[in-house]
Amino acid sequence: MPVVGCLHILFKFFLNCTTVSLLLTNINMELLTPGTGLIIWQLLVFLAVLLFLVAWIIILVSKKLDPRERLSWMLGTLFLPIVGPVIFFFQLARAR
């Protein structure tokens, strides 16, 4: 259960960061119609969070990774929330 609690906290932190980012980029959003722009941003945030969570679940469940590799992948996906999981999935596919 501690893993689920950590994922919940990270999910809330990620959503708070993206909310602040959306508020800061509100000026650029005027170029799009409000409905379309909001849908696009919500879809991008949802896909980024989903990619991040799937990567963390695979990292935590994987028996092939030793603890040092697991920690480095978790930190890499945490600090590079979009690029990190993509690199992880490419490395995972290449290893199989």
pLDDT on residue 2: 59
pLDDT of 22 strictly over 60? no
Contact 51, 14 (CB under 8 A): no
Place of tokens 């689920």: 4
pLDDT on residue 84: 93
Question: What spatial distance separates the first Cα and last Cα of the chain, rounded to whole Å?
Answer: 29
Q: How many Cα atoms within 13 Å fall on the side-chain side of residue 8? A: 5
Average pLDDT, the chain: 78
pTM (two decimals): 0.59
> pLDDT per residue over 33-52, tens digit each?
556 777 888 888 999 999 99
Instruction: Give just the sign of the alpha carbon dihedral 14, 15, 16, 22.
Output: positive
